[in-house]
Amino acid sequence: MIDQKNLLSQITEISFTVNDLNLYLDTHPLDENALDAFKDAMTQRKQLLQTYADNFEPLTMNCICPDTNNKTKTLTKYPDQRHFTWCDGPLPWEGGAF
């Protein structure tokens, strides 16, 4: 079973890295090492966000999929029904991961 709190912490950390690299690349757009680091961090962030969406709730609009959201069927008003969700359960900023 995936630890929701730990996964959210990993997403927060990699998101900080992505944002930091983004700011750096705004002023150093040709830095090859930073470009590679940004690409790697974005790939990792997308994977972590998708893992979170698959197991809990989507955290970004990019992860919303009515066909696959809330496979665990926890805290949903619509178990076994295809539906748009972003709020089946408490989201992390509402205390959902703690």
pLDDT digit of tens for each residue in the chain (98 aa)?
889 899 999 999 999 999 999 999 999 999 999 999 999 999 999 999 999 888 887 888 777 766 665 555 556 666 777 666 665 666 666 766 55
Query: Looking at residue 68, what is its pLDDT?
Result: 60
* Whole-angstrom distance, CA of residue 30 vs CA of residue 9: 30
For every residue of 56-93, DSSP letters joined together read S--SSGGG--TTTTTTT--S-SSTTS----S-SS--GG
Write down the pLDDT at residue 71: 59
At residue 56, the pLDDT reads 81
Looking at residue 96, its pLDDT comes to 62
Rg of the chain over CA atoms, in angstroms?
A: 16
